[in-house]
């Protein structure tokens, strides 16, 4: 570690993302990286041989590159800045890589997942996803692309609940559209999140029952598990 480095301070969401990574990768892609805090923390913890920071915001990425050059010497750390839309990224031929997609909405997350999968004849990467919303549809997309669950967690930050979904083509556990192992029914925050989700899709179903009624029913079925 560089003598001028300080331990990167992460919020609950980014810290949980980091904690869930269960192996060292050749490449970790910190996508839509913003200020690059997660990727810098991953460099410090040696979670990958190389960390690639991807974001479309040129000014933000220039600032990040300056900070990385100052605190993460190329003599000690391997990193790369890519300033482009994630949709334009071509997945390299490496069987040990993780794409982290966090902080964007459900539709954009789905678009990114599909583009990454379509950029290679055979996807060869794991995904760690934390969408701002639209988790049901994100999970559907992951399953349709052949991914299976490694781990999933609910995390709360700034009075908002997030689902973190860690998947791989090599895993065995099916991906539930409403989550499975992430729910802790002894945790009041999890129950509160479930109730908010039910309320959200209840309102949606009133205006578009064809699209949302089945989603509402899938979340309502979790009540059976909650009351066991």
Please count the residues of the chain: 228
C-alpha 82, offset from chain centre? 19
Encode pLDDT of 17-75 as tens digits.
Answer: 999 999 999 999 999 988 899 999 999 999 999 999 999 999 999 999 999 999 999 88
Most confident of 73-77, 120-124, 217-221, 224-228: 217-221
Within the chain, how many helices (H) and strands (E) appear? 8, 7
What pTM value is reported for the model?
0.94
Is the pLDDT at 149 greater than 60? The verdict is yes
Half-sphere exposure of 201 (CA within 13 A, CB side): 22
Residue 20 · residue 14 · CB < 8 Å: no
Split at pLDDT 50, 70, 90, the class of 5 is low
């Amino acid at each position: 570690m560089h003598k001028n480095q300080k331990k990167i301070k992460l919020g609950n969401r980014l810290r949980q993302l980091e904690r869930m990574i269960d192996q060292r990768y050749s490449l970790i892609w910190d996508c839509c990286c913003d200020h690059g805090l997660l990727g810098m923390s991953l460099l410090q913890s040696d979670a990958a041989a190389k960390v690639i920071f991807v974001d479309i915001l040129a000014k933000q990425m220039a600032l990040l590159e300056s900070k990385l050059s100052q605190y993460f010497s190329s003599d000690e750390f391997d990193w790369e800045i890519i300033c482009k839309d994630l949709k334009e990224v071509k997945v390299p031929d490496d069987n040990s890589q993780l794409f982290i997609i966090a902080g964007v909405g459900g539709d954009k997350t789905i678009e990114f997942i599909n583009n990454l999968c379509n950029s290679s004849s055979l996807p060869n990467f794991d995904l760690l996803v934390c969408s701002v919303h639209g988790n049901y549809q994100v999970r559907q997309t992951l399953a349709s692309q052949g991914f299976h669950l490694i781990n999933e967690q609910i995390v709360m930050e700034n009075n908002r609940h997030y689902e973190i979904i860690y998947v791989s083509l090599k895993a065995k556990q099916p991906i539930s559209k409403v989550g499975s192992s992430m729910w802790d029914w002894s945790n009041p925050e999890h129950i509160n999140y479930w109730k908010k989700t039910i309320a959200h899709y209840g309102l949606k179903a009133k205006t578009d029952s064809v699209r949302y009624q089945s989603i509402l029913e899938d979340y309502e079925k979790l009540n059976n598990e909650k009351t066991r």
